[in-house]
Amino acid sequence: MKIRFLLLVCFVVLQEQIWANEGGKVVVSGKVSDKLTNETLAGVKIYVEGTTIYTYTDLNGNYTLFVPSSSATKLIYSSVSYSENKLDLSSALLQKQILLNPAE
């Protein structure tokens, strides 16, 4: 019963975020940090897979990306010296802190 309720709440929150934006765009925002040190990362590129839609994190690791809801499948977080991280749009909307693993 608790799981059903939690899923329902997540669905409602996600739907509100998607439909609240004009022009069929979804606003994705958050902060990118190093997974080991938890330090924020500046200059991380965040882009929509298969498109030319992208942004970079600011000096504090924050980003905002406007994604057309019709074209969004996965968001990709990439930076020099870090392993690339791919997230579904729904996961990126729910996670406000994205952690990148240092490359080996």
Select the CATH number that applies to the domain covering 2-100 from these four: 1.20.120.140, 2.40.50.1040, 2.40.340.10, 2.60.40.1120.
2.60.40.1120
CB-CB contact of 72 with 95 (8 Å):
no
Question: Hey, where are the domains in the chain?
Answer: 2-100
pLDDT for the residue numbered 18: 46
pTM as predicted? 0.74
What pLDDT digit, counting tens, does each position of 12-58 carry?
A: 455 544 444 456 788 999 999 999 999 999 999 999 998 899 999 99
3-state secondary structure of 73: coil
